[in-house]
């Protein structure tokens, strides 16, 4: 392979001034987002508009504490050095030359000049004017002088790389333009951070590092599809790079993207020499190595890719001469998200809109009143947190339908026809059996048929209102959760013999945190949908607005108690029940709920428990029998030993036998202690 044309990324260095301050700088991700904004000005404008609060005013000054200034003879003035600011940037720039160099016959450039920016709330702004200070009468001051106390936070923008010798008019103009560009970057930092937050919240199952794809195409929209040309040394797939210059090897037009999380084989390229390791080494050997690639690159790539896919890899990551992700290959590019595309702009607008709505918490009633409804009933919501799987679970919901005006049923992946099925049962137009069969015939079979049948039997002919507020089937987050949770996907395939104990715990931690992030975003959408869908119902049926109270029954999986807490914080009238009572979360759910409410850091010590859960499942101990008591029989060292037995076993069948013996020995040790 040819050596990639990579240029080192410029680093923001702190001035050499002896100051205990945090200087304004941009992270690598923030710099990438600025590049995204350059490619998509519309995206930048949305972000800038969203961050313009109009509630603060910026004040500026230029200083350099490495240059010693002579006392000016006014004690009170001297005491205020470092506190003079102006709302006019041009006024502040007058002091640029004084802060860049010493004066006299041996004048020289002194590093450490900074533009200092403070943000002052509008209501406090005039209070800081120099005329409000008793020393104003002692000094010759300008009308735009403000005195900012040291207690107010300063933002320092280094001016060390700004044009010097500004006594020359042309140089001064160059310096001013450079400084104004720095101020623009500073002012846009909030916009950059907002877009960064959008990526984190909207795409929790994607890696957040921005990668670049070069193409002859000026525009990328929709789902990315493979073609026969998408192959190379690292397999058949879609090629990207963390370095824009490298990405342009594939085309002059750069397109920023983020890729789905997953297992990626690793390769190092050092001065054009490739180092395969782990899965990539196995795949390279299987494909025939360098000779096979020289003879038939296409066949080599095909074999290399197939082998890595069989080992569960989503692609390949190549470290190129020390640059992480210098080259990245994604085998299935359909889930890659294109930044700055029409779809991305639409999603960002939605995020900004919701973000604005979340600035001040609103109860459901407050939201409805703010939408211009003539009357808004008292909204009373009762959550029933339960297992939502069996006939008995369904009967618990049915028992609570009496006295309920609206049923909001958990139903991720619903569409309009699913909602109509629920409504037809309520109106008596579908029997429970017809409803179940109808959904089956259209390929949307209810997952827990017995559970829903029990609810339908009670709901039939009652004319109660039904709302679905969960993720719809065309919601991208639903698709991500579905792919994440189904079959042998990441959520259910946490343990394998190739990984070490530490690597397995790290994988469990990453997957568990991701699951929490996705479920939290799902819950946030549910909270928003409760308001908007209820508004639509009240507009469609204005007679409901005349009710004094509207009672809502909301059956939900017991994992999602955060919904209750968030509605309570909003000021909603909510209560909750559990079925059965007391409700005991299984060991895996308990750890995941700790992550959900307290964060991954609080739960790191519990990762071995989830590993143990899966080892017990592999020796055919049913899910319902894996209790906290059984988990508690094992010490961390014993869990590690149990895992090593699994790793050394040649097959799952052999492990069932050997693992059962080890489990029984732990049980016997526990019994002997008692």
Could you read off the pLDDT of 564-605 as tens digits, one per residue?
Answer: 999 998 889 999 999 886 677 777 888 888 888 888 888 899
- Confidence band of 122 (pLDDT split at 50, 70, 90): confident
Radius of gyration from C-alpha coordinates of the chain? 31
pLDDT of 10 higher than 70: no
> In sequence order, what are the beta bridge partners of 240?
328
Tell me: the pLDDT tens digits for 148-186? Answer: 887 788 888 888 888 877 667 787 788 888 888 888 878
pLDDT of 472 higher than 60: yes
**Cβ-defined contacts of 599-606 (< 8 Å, 24+):** 600/509, 600/512, 600/513, 600/516, 603/509, 603/512, 604/509
Tell me: the pLDDT tens digits for 523-571? Answer: 999 999 999 999 999 999 999 999 999 999 999 999 999 999 999 988 8
**pLDDT for position 111:** 82
pLDDT of 76 higher than 80: no
- Confidence band of 8 (pLDDT split at 50, 70, 90): very low
pLDDT of 223 higher than 90: no
Tell me: the pLDDT tens digits for 259-303? Answer: 999 899 999 998 888 899 999 999 999 999 988 888 988 889 889
Q: For 52-115, where are the alpha helices, taking DSSP H only?
A: 75-79, 89-93, 96-100
**Cβ-defined contacts of 223-230 (< 8 Å, 24+):** 223/334, 224/333, 224/334, 224/336, 224/338, 225/333, 225/334, 226/333
Q: What letter would DSSP give residue 625?
A: G
> In sequence order, what are the beta bridge partners of 265?
316
- Confidence band of 2 (pLDDT split at 50, 70, 90): very low
The residue extents of the domains of the chain are 28-193, 205-342, 360-583, 606-674
pLDDT of 137 higher than 80: no
Contact (Cβ atoms closer than 8 angstroms) between residue 202 and residue 475:
no
Going by DSSP bridges, is the β-strand pair 573-578/378-386 parallel, antiparallel, or unpaired? parallel
Tell me: the pLDDT tens digits for 356-371? Answer: 655 557 899 999 998 8
pLDDT of 20 higher than 60: no
pTM for this model (two decimals): 0.51
The proportion of the chain whose per-residue pLDDT surpasses 90, expressed as a percent, equals: 43
Distances (CA, A) of 342 to 51, 223, 574: 21, 12, 39
**pLDDT for position 136:** 58
Q: Which residues contact 178 (CB under 8 A, 6 or more apart)?
A: 162, 163
Tell me: the pLDDT tens digits for 652-661? Answer: 999 999 999 9
pLDDT of 51 higher than 80: no
pLDDT of 646 higher than 50: yes
Q: Could you give the CA distance from residue 105 to residue 90 in angstroms, rounded to a whole number?
A: 28
- Arithmetic mean of pLDDT over the chain: 84
């Amino acid at each position: 392979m040819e050596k990639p044309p990579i240029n080192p990324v410029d680093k923001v260095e702190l001035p050499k001034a002896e100051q205990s301050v945090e200087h304004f700088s941009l992270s690598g991700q923030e710099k990438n987002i600025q590049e995204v904004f350059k490619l998509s000005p519309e995206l930048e404008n949305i972000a800038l508009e969203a961050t313009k609060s109009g509630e603060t005013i910026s004040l500026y000054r230029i200083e350099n504490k490495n240059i010693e200034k002579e006392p000016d003879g006014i004690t009170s003035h001297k005491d205020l050095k470092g506190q003079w600011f102006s709302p006019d940037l041009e006024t502040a720039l007058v002091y640029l030359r004084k802060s860049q160099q010493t004066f006299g016959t041996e004048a020289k450039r002194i590093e450490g000049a900074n533009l200092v920016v403070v943000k002052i709330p509008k209501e406090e702004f005039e209070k800081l004017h120099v005329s409000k200070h008793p020393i104003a009468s002692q000094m010759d001051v300008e009308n735009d002088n403000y005195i900012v106390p040291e207690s107010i936070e300063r933002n320092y923008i280094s001016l060390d790389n700004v044009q010097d010798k500004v006594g020359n008019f042309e140089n001064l103009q160059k310096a001013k333009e450079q400084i104004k560009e720095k101020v623009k970057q500073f002012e846009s930092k909030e916009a950059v951070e907002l877009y960064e937050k959008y990526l984190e919240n909207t795409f929790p199952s994607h890696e957040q590092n921005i990668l670049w794809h070069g193409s002859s195409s000026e525009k990328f929209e929709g789902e990315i599809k493979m073609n026969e040309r998408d192959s190379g040394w690292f397999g058949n797939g879609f090629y990207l790079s963390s370095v824009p210059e490298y990405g342009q090897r594939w085309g002059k037009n750069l397109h920023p993207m983020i890729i789905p999380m997953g297992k990626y084989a690793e390769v190092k390229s050092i001065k054009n020499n490739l180092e395969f390791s782990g899965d990539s080494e196995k795949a390279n050997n299987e494909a025939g190595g360098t000779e096979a690639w020289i003879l038939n690159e296409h066949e080599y790539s095909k074999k290399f890719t197939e082998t890595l896919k069989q080992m569960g890899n989503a692609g390949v990551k190549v470290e190129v001469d020390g640059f992480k992700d210098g080259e990245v290959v994604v085998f299935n590019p359909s889930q890659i998200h294109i930044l700055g595309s029409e779809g991305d702009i639409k999603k960002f607008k939605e995020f900004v809109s919701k973000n604005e709505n979340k600035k001040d918490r609103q109860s459901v009633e407050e939201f409805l009143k703010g939408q211009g409804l003539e009357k808004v009933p008292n909204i009373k919501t009762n959550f029933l947190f339960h297992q939502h799987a069996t006939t008995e679970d369904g009967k618990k919901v049915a028992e609570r339908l009496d006295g309920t005006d609206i049923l909001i049923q958990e139903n991720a992946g619903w569409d309009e026809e699913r909602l109509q099925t629920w409504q037809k049962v309520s109106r008596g137009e579908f029997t429970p059996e017809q409803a179940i069969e109808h959904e089956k015939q259209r390929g949307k079979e209810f997952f827990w048929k017995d559970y829903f049948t029990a609810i339908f039997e009670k709901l039939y002919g009652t004319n109660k209102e039904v709302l679905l507020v969960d993720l719809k089937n065309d919601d991208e987050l639903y698709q991500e959760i579905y792919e994440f949770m189904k079959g042998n996907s990441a959520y259910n395939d946490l343990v394998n013999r190739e990984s070490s104990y530490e690597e397995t715990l790290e994988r469990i931690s990453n997957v568990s945190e991701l699951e929490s992030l996705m479920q939290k975003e799902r819950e946030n959408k549910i909270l928003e949908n409760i308001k908007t869908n209820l508004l639509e119902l009240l507009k469609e049926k204005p007679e409901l607005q005349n009710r004094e109270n509207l009672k809502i029954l909301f059956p939900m999986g017991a994992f999602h108690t955060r919904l209750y807490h968030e509605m309570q914080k909003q000021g909603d009238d909510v209560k909750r029940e559990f079925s059965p009572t007391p409700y005991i979360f299984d060991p895996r759910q308990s750890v995941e709920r700790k992550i959900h409410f307290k964060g991954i850091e609080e739960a790191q010590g519990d990762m071995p428990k989830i590993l143990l859960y899966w080892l017990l499942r592999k020796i055919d101990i049913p899910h319902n029998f894996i209790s906290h008591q059984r988990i508690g029989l094992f010490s961390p060292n014993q869990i590690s030993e149990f895992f090593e037995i699994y790793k050394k076993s040649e097959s799952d069948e052999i492990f069932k036998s050997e693992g059962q013996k080890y489990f029984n020995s732990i049980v016997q040790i526990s019994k002997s202690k008692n």
